C-alpha cells in the first residue's frame, strides 16, 4: 500500500480536468481498488498562464514534453490532447521510453493503431484506449475480456451523441435538420463546424476501432462506408414512425464468412429494439455473440466525467500491471486478416421513398424493375397526391445492396419517377 505510481498528463482540456478531478475526489477508493497510490506528477499544457477553473499546484504544469517523457519516475502517460500532430510523436516517444499509455484519442487509434501497438509491444508497455469509443460505456474491455469466449457476430450502436440528440429532437418535434442543428449548437452539443458529427466521420472512427477488436482483424478508417444524417427529413421520420421504426445514426459491423461489413449511416430500427429508445446524447452499443446472444451497453458517450471515468479505469489497469510487473502482456488482438466488403455487398432491408407522377401504372412499372433485379418488397405505402405528384414508400425484404442500387439506377430513368427522395437501411429485425 506504500507504493506510488506517478502519472504524466498530456493536456488539461475538458477530459484532462475530469481525469485530475476523479483522481483527487475518488482518491481513497482508487487507491484501495488499484492496490497502489496514483499521483499526477506533471501536466503538459500549451500555456502556463491560462485560467483553468481548477486548483492545481503550479509546478505540475509544463510546456515541454521532455519533462514528462524523460522523467523516469513517470510510469504512465495519459494522452488527452487530441489530434494527430504532435500527439502521435509524443505517445510514440512515451512508449519508446517504456511508459504505459492511456489515450482517449479515437482519431489516432483509428488511423495509427497498428504503429502504436507495435511500439507498445516492442517496449513491453500497456496501450489502453477505452475512452476512445463511447466514453462512459466500457465497451472495449467488454469485448476484449468479458465476451472473449464468444465469436462476436455483430456490433452496432449509437456512438455519436450529437446526432442522437438531433434525431431525438427531430422525432419529438417534427422539426427539420437545420432547425435542430441550430438548437444543438446553442446548447453546446454540436460544434460550430458540425461536419465530423453530422457527416458520420466521428462514428466511423469509433466503429473502425470496435470492428477491429470484435473480429480480431484490422479495419482501416477508409474502409468504413460513411453516410451522415444531413439528408434525413421530417418526412422520413414521420414515415419511420408510421412503419414502426425510429431513425438512428448507427455504426454497424458484422462478421460474415466472406468478409466484414462495416458502415455508418442513418438506420431504421424497430421501436421495440433496445436501441430504439436510447435518446438525447446517450450512446448504446449492441453486441451479438455466438454464446451470450444479445447484449447491450448504455451510457453517456462523451463529457468531462464520463470520458474521464474510462480514462481512470485504464490508468488503474495499467497501474495493476506495473505493480504485478506484467505490462504489455495483452497487446494488439488483430491476429486475423479478413477483407472488408464493399457497400454493394451489404445484406439488409431498405426503406425507399420516391416522388412519382400521380397516374395509373406507375407502381406497376416500379415493382417490375425491382422484380427484375430480384428485390422483393415487404410493404408499399402510396401517399396522398399533392397536385400531380404522389409519394411511394417501399420497404424491401433482405437483399444484397447491389441489387437495390441497380434497380434504383433503372427506376431513375422512368419518366414517371420524379425523384429518389431517400434510401435508408433497416437494421435490428429478425
Active-site residue numbers? 206
Between 268 and 282, whose beta carbon lies closer to a second copy? 282
Between 262 and 310, whose beta carbon lies closer to a second copy? 310
Between 292 and 347, whose beta carbon lies closer to a second copy? 292
Between 16 and 136, whose beta carbon lies closer to a second copy? 136
Shortest CB 226 distance to a second copy, Å: 27
Between 194 and 301, whose beta carbon lies closer to a second copy? 301
Shortest CB 376 distance to a second copy, Å: 30
Between 105 and 309, whose beta carbon lies closer to a second copy? 309
Shortest CB 148 distance to a second copy, Å: 5
Look at residues 335, 332, 334, 344 and name the one whose alpha carbon lies nearest to residue 258.
Answer: 344
Shortest CB 9 distance to a second copy, Å: 14
CA 48 from chain centre, in angstroms, equals 34
Shortest CB 403 distance to a second copy, Å: 33
Between 95 and 143, whose beta carbon lies closer to a second copy? 143
Gap between the Cα atoms of 203 and 132, Å rounded: 11
Shortest CB 216 distance to a second copy, Å: 7
Shortest CB 277 distance to a second copy, Å: 6
- The residue ranges that bind a second copy (CB under 8 A) are 18, 22-23, 25-26, 29-30, 32-35, 130, 136-138, 141-142, 144-151, 216, 272, 274, 277-278, 289-300, 303, 305-306, 308-313, 315-317, 320, 324-326, 329-330, 333, 335
Gap between the Cα atoms of 87 and 363, Å rounded: 56
Between 157 and 251, whose beta carbon lies closer to a second copy? 157
Shortest CB 304 distance to a second copy, Å: 9
The bridge status of strand 347-357 relative to strand 37-44 is: unpaired
Cβ neighbours for 87, distance < 8 A, ≥ 6 positions apart: 10, 79, 81, 105, 108
93 is in an annotated binding site: no
106 is in an annotated binding site: yes
SS (H, E, C) the chain: CCCEEEEEEECCCHHHHHHHHHHHHCHHHHHHHHCCEEEEEEEECCCCCCCCCCCCCHHHEECCCHHHHCCCCEEEEEECCCCCCCHHHHHHHHHHCCCEEEECCHHHHHHHHHHHHHHHHHCCCCEECHHHCCCCCCHHHHHHHHCCCCCEEEEEEECCHHHHHHHHHHHHHCCCHHHHHHHHHHCCCCCCCCHHHHCCHHHHHHHHHHHHHHHCECCCHHHCEECCCCCCCHHHHHHHHHHCEEEEEEEEEEEECCEEEEEEEEEEEECCCCCCCCCCCEEEEEEEECCCEEEEEEEECCCHHHHHHHHHHHHHHHHHHHHCCCCCCCCCCCCECCCECCHHHCEEEEEEEEEEECCCCHHHHHHHHHHHCCCCEEEEEEEEEECCEEEEEEEECCEEHHHHHHHHHHHHHCCCEEEEEEEEEECCCC
Cell of 230: 444531413
Query: Phi first, then psi: what are they for 310, rounded to 5°?
Result: -70, -40
CA 157 from chain centre, in angstroms, equals 8
Write out the binding residues for L-homoserine. 191
Residues that constitute the known binding site: 106, 191
Known binding-site residue numbers for NADPH: 106
Amino acid at each position: 500500500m506504500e507504493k506510488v505510481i506517478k502519472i504524466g498528463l498530456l493536456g488539461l482540456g475538458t477530459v484532462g480536468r475530469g481525469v485530475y478531478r476523479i483522481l483527487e475526489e475518488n482518491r481513497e477508493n482508487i487507491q484501495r481498488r488499484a492496490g497502489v497510490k496514483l499521483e499526477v506528477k506533471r501536466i503538459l499544457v500549451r500555456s502556463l498562464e491560462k485560467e483553468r477553473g481548477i486548483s492545481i499546484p503550479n509546478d505540475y504544469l509544463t510546456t515541454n514534453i521532455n519533462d514528462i517523457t524523460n522523467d523516469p519516475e513517470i510510469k504512465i502517460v495519459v494522452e488527452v490532447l487530441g489530434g494527430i500532430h504532435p500527439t502521435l510523436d509524443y505517445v510514440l516517444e512515451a512508449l519508446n521510453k517504456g511508459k504505459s499509455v492511456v489515450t482517449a484519442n479515437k482519431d489516432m487509434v483509428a488511423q495509427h493503431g497498428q504503429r502504436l501497438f507495435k511500439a507498445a509491444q516492442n517496449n513491453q508497455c500497456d496501450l489502453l484506449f477505452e475512452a476512445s469509443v463511447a466514453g462512459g460505456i466500457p465497451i472495449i474491455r467488454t469485448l476484449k475480456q468479458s465476451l472473449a469466449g464468444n465469436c462476436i457476430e455483430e456490433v452496432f450502436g449509437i456512438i455519436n451523441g450529437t446526432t442522437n440528440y438531433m434525431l431525438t429532437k427531430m422525432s419529438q418535434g417534427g422539426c427539420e435538420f437545420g432547425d435542430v442543428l441550430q438548437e444543438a449548437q446553442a446548447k453546446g452539443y454540436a460544434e460550430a463546424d458540425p461536419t465530423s458529427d453530422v457527416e458520420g466521420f466521428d462514428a466511423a472512427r469509433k466503429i473502425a476501432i470496435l470492428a477491429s477488436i470484435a473480429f480480431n482483424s484490422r479495419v482501416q478508417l477508409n474502409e468504413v462506408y460513411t453516410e451522415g444524417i444531413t439528408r434525413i427529413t421530417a418526412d422520413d421520420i414521420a414515415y419511420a414512425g408510421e412503419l414502426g421504426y425510429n431513425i438512428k445514426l448507427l455504426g454497424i459491423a458484422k462478421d460474415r464468412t466472406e468478409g466484414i461489413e462495416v458502415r455508418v449511416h442513418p438506420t431504421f430500427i424497430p421501436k421495440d429494439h433496445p436501441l430504439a429508445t436510447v435518446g438525447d446524447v446517450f450512446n448504446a452499443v449492441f453486441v451479438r455473440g455466438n454464446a451470450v446472444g444479445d447484449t447491450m451497453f448504455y451510457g453517456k458517450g462523451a463529457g468531462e466525467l464520463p470520458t474521464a471515468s474510462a480514462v481512470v479505469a485504464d490508468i488503474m489497469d495499467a497501474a495493476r500491471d506495473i505493480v504485478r510487473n506484467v505490462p504489455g502482456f495483452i497487446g494488439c488482438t488483430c491476429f486475423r486478416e479478413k477483407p472488408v466488403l464493399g457497400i454493394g455487398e451489404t445484406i439488409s432491408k431498405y426503406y425507399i421513398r420516391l416522388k412519382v407522377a400521380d397516374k395509373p401504372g406507375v407502381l406497376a412499372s416500379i415493382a417490375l424493375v425491382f422484380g427484375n433485379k430480384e428485390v422483393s418488397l415487404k410493404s408499399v405505402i402510396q401517399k396522398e397526391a399533392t397536385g400531380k405528384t404522389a409519394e411511394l414508400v417501399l420497404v424491401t425484404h433482405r437483399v444484397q445492396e447491389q441489387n437495390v442500387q441497380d434497380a434504383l439506377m433503372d427506376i431513375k430513368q422512368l419518366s414517371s419517377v420524379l425523384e429518389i427522395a431517400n434510401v435508408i437501411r433497416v437494421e435490428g429485425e429478425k
